[in-house]
Amino acid sequence: MKIAAIQMVSSPELAHNLARARHWLEQAAAQGARLAALPEYFCLLGRRDDDKLAIAEGLGEGPIQQMLADAARELGLWIIGGTLPIRTQDPARVRNSCLVYAPDGALAARYDKLHLFCYDNGRERYDEGRVLEAGDAPAVAEVEGLRVGLSVCYDLRFPELYRAMGAMEGGGPLDLISVPSAFTYTTGQAHWELLLRARAVENLAYLIAPAQGGTHDNGRRTWGHTMIVDPWGEVLGCLPEGEGLVLAEIEAERLARLRAQLPALQHRRL
């Protein structure tokens, strides 16, 4: 299966971002992708943290979800819809939700970001908990025989999340890990590739990491370096900065061969 990771430099303008996302989904389909993944906050990187409250949607309604469902159906794609704000019972907080759509446009899975980023080095300060409500459970999507573990950005630093997905009832090892992200330039430069390759290797799984990558209208600079990584930790493609696509093939035979050669997932004792 050919997969596509989309890198964006999202703005505070919802309509503009949706148009750019649709453009890149069309490009992914035109280049033969069967699954395409958008970055975290593809729909909006506002001037303030609470700007996302104004565009929050109820599950199953609103222009963001409509664009994703329409694109999946019209382009015949599986779409991992980065993240978008889904309303909660608290008007001051939203869930940072990743929605997966099947090629018929139906919602196939939902994951709400579990781990909320907080960082302060004296120059940069972020605290997602100000406007986000944390999710409460891991989620796995079934995509044409592949088990796809859903995670978002800061989740990448918590390897136990991926172990929990692999241990879910009726499941098994993850075949593909999805990590839509908006890593800061500072933390991305230090840890992004290291963490991505580690998660792929320790789970013997492919990994798709679509990212925000550039300087945004709000002055924030994101790290970018959208990547697809194979189960041996090889980087199959990387886009350092700016909008674009990274494409690669998931090879079921390679996945099975590597797991047979190094059956580390069967050797776990804790």
Give yes or no for a contact between 35 and 4, defined as CB atoms under 8 angstroms apart. yes
Q: Which residue has the higher pLDDT, 20 or 125?
A: 20
Residue 170 pLDDT exceeds 80 = no
* Token pair in block for residue 34: 């069967």
* Rounded-to-integer distance, Cα 109 and Cα 9, Å: 25
Q: What confidence score (pLDDT) does residue 110 get?
A: 98
Instruction: List all residues 6 or more positions away from 152 whose beta carbon is below 8 Å from its beta carbon.
Output: 40, 83, 96, 98, 111, 113, 179, 180, 181
Within 13 A of 22's CA, how many CA atoms are on the CB side?
17
pLDDT at 33: 98
pLDDT at 146: 97
Residue 211 in tokens: 């990212």
Q: What percent of the chain has pLDDT over 70?
A: 100
The rounded percent of the chain whose pLDDT value lies above 90 is 94
pLDDT of residue 123: 86
Q: Which helix (H) or strand (E) holds 245?
A: strand 244-249
Question: Which CATH number is correct for 2-266, 3.40.50.360, 3.60.110.10, 3.40.50.150, 3.40.50.11820?
Answer: 3.60.110.10
At residue 169 the predicted structure's pLDDT band, cuts being 50, 70 and 90, is confident
More confident residue, 170 or 164: 164
184-218 pLDDT, tens digit each: 999 999 999 999 999 999 999 999 999 999 999 99
Give the count of beta carbons closer than 10 Å to the beta carbon of residue 89.
6
Residue 219 identity: G
Q: What is the pLDDT of residue 125?
A: 86
In degrees and rounded to multiples of 5, residue 245 shows phi and psi of -125, 150
| pLDDT higher at 171 or 129 | 129
* 155 HSE (CA, 13 A, CB side): 30
pLDDT of residue 267: 94
Count of beta carbons in the 10 Å neighbourhood of residue 221: 17
Rg, the chain, Cα only: 17
Q: Which two tokens stand for residue 204?
A: 């013997």
Residue 156 identity (one-letter amino acid): L
* pLDDT tens-digit readout, 34-67: 999 999 999 999 999 999 999 999 999 999 999 9
Instruction: Dump pLDDT digits (tens) for 7-31.
Output: 999 999 999 999 999 999 999 999 9
How far apart (Å, rounded) are the C-alpha atoms in residues 141 and 206? 14
Query: Residue 90's pLDDT is what?
Result: 97
| Domain residue limits, the chain | 2-266
Give the mean pLDDT of the chain: 97
Is the pLDDT at 158 greater than 80, yes or no? yes
N- to C-terminal Cα separation, the chain: 33
Between residues 67 and 169, the one the model is more confident about? 67
The pair of structure tokens assigned to 84 is 């978008």
Spatial distance between the Cα atoms of 25 and 115, rounded to a whole number of angstroms: 27
How many C-beta atoms surround the C-beta of residue 260 within 10 A? Answer: 8
Residues identified as active-site = 40, 113, 153
With H, G, I as helix, E, B as strand and everything else as coil, classify residue 264: helix
